[in-house]
Chain A
Amino acid sequence: MRRTLRIIPRLDIKGPNLVKGIHLEGLRVLGKPWDFAHTYYREGADELIYIDAVASLYGRNNLLEIVKKTAENVFIPLTVGGGVRSLEDMRNLLCAGADKIAINTAAVHQPDLITQGAKMFGSQCIVGSIQAKLIDGRYYAYTDNAREFTELDVFDWARRLVDLGAGEILVTSIDQEGTAKGYELNLVRRLSETLTVPLIVCGGCGRPEHVADVAGLPGVDAVCASSIFHYNYLSSVATRENYEAEGNIEFLKKNRGGTPFMSTQLAVSSIGRVKEFLCSRGIPCRWPLS
């Protein structure tokens, strides 16, 4: 019997808002993260991931209020990352309602933080996050939301993160991210063959078939997706709040009109439709919900 594949909507956050970009750049404001989170929870998401898109960049950590608000009415596991630099940051996020902490930039600068976090809170709390980019035939890890190059080979770094104490690995393909062209299969295949801890793959999902493509690889435990869900639920998620002038709000000013960036590639879908498609391909997942 295979494990059930976890479907994880990923919510990128800038300031108080849910945003979405391409290759992690050009962020467009879509709404409030907790509204989307609650919708995804009701619709059958297996977990949620929040990533503060600019926290590493500006050295701030304003996720706590968003996490608290989300935890009031969302009862599935929540992973939170972006700008986590210390055990204190981790503790604060866990107390606010996070179940797991994703760490990328700080892990590169101070790898011991992964070990300390795993010792303090347990390995199951620590998600090693890798942003991967293909350069001259090799995959390198990036930090600071895909802005800073490191010389780290993705596969070596992934194994190192596990040795340090990471309980899961989240890999995001910078090249595919936001393009809706599908997950980076070569990257995922090679990683899935080398890892002994659960692998969460991220970046490029544009249609249910893309999920099935990576789910077929034996070592893939979970998939992240953003655009496919965000643009599907955009019209049904309430917009109660005023939007601070942070990020590109042109899209919202037009009542969320116009087309998504990648309209030719993207086939928006509900979480249920993705899961039904997986079931039809014989890929076990948590569906139906009852």
Chain B
Amino acid sequence: MRQDKIVIVDYRMGNLFNLQRAITFLGYSAEITSDPAVIRRADRILLPGVGAFEKAMQELDRADLIGVLKESVDQGKMMLGICLGMQLLFTKSFEFGEHRGLDFIRGQVVRFHRSESEITELKIPQIGWNSVEKPSAGPAWEKGILASVSPGTYFYFVHSFVCCPEEPAAVVAETQYGKDRFCSVTHRGNLWGCQFHPERSGEHGLSLLKSFIEL
């Protein structure tokens, strides 16, 4: 049986090798690429990213990748945005101004709320492990990339901004940090996003990636 072609989109925002290693460890292979033609031929697309939202959109534009990503979503290809890659899927971000995103999922990216009393207790960025929980309403947890993950499982987060989907149906999992309860896994059709780093989240992170590849 032919293996699905998996690509990791390289737009010069962060370290992609550990994501590639995780996929290799799972017995699959993923190509790191910034070539729209290669992405066009892919079956499954990983959109990682670390850094600033505005610069990320500029880099995607410069590499001529926005069109092929839109096309892939329209064709119903499996896509997973990770960390900043998840945030890019939304309509707009308020990170240092207001910037348009890819707008694949309706919603905004906003900064954590934080009260003065929380400053030393809860630092921003959130760096560390936090758990994913089932939202009170939302799509079926069991049918997506969280199929093998129980509510309460810890993943590794590094972020200062959070995604706020407009539709409750787009919120697959939520995570609590201080007073903020934010969307940590999102989805629309075959499009998925997680705020944490599955490639750095131990066995559960690996099983999430496996679910995405085998879904």
- Interfacial residues, chain A to chain B (CB-CB below 8 A): 1-4, 6, 41, 46, 71-73, 75-77, 94-97, 99, 121-122, 124, 167-168, 192-193, 195-198, 218-219, 221-222, 286, 289-290
Contacts and interface: CB of A to CB of B under 8 A. Distances in A.
Given A1-B177, A46-B156, 8 more contacts: A2-B122, A4-B128, A4-B154, A71-B18, A73-B25, A75-B202, A96-B17, A167-B125
A126 to B, nearest CB: 12
B199 interface: yes
A95 B16 CA distance: 8
Contacts of B15: 94-95, 99, 121
A197 B123 contact: yes
A221 B178 contact: no
B119 A221 contact: no
Contacts of A4: 128-130, 154
Contacts of B158: 124
A290 B199 CA distance: 17
Contacts of A77: 156, 200
B40 to A, nearest CB: 27
Interface size class of B (residues with CB under 8 A): 35 or more
B204 interface: yes
A76 B126 contact: no
Q: Label chain A's interface by main secondary structure.
A: loop
Given A6-B128, A168-B127, A76 B200 contact: yes
A167 B18 contact: no
B206 interface: yes
Interface in B1-52: 14-15, 17-18, 21-22, 25, 50-51
Interface string B150-183: 1001101010000000000000000011100000
Interface of B: 14-15, 17-18, 21-22, 25, 50-51, 119-123, 125-130, 150, 153-154, 156, 158, 176-178, 199-206
A221 B128 CA distance: 8
Contacts of B119: 196
Contacts of A6: 128-129
B176 A124 contact: no
Given A71-B18, A95-B15, A122-B51, A76 B202 contact: yes
Contact of B129 (A46, A96, A124, A168): A46
Nearest to A220: B120
A186 B137 CA distance: 47
Nearest to A96: B17
Nearest 8 interchain pairs by C-beta: A286-B129, A219-B120, A286-B154, A218-B120, A124-B158, A94-B15, A77-B200, A4-B129
Contact of B14 (A122, A196, A218): A122
Nearest to A44: B202
Contacts of A1: 176-178
20 contacts: A1-B177, A2-B121, A3-B121, A3-B177, A4-B154, A41-B202, A71-B17, A71-B21, A72-B25, A75-B201, A95-B15, A96-B17, A99-B200, A121-B15, A124-B50, A167-B125, A193-B120, A218-B121, A221-B127, A290-B203
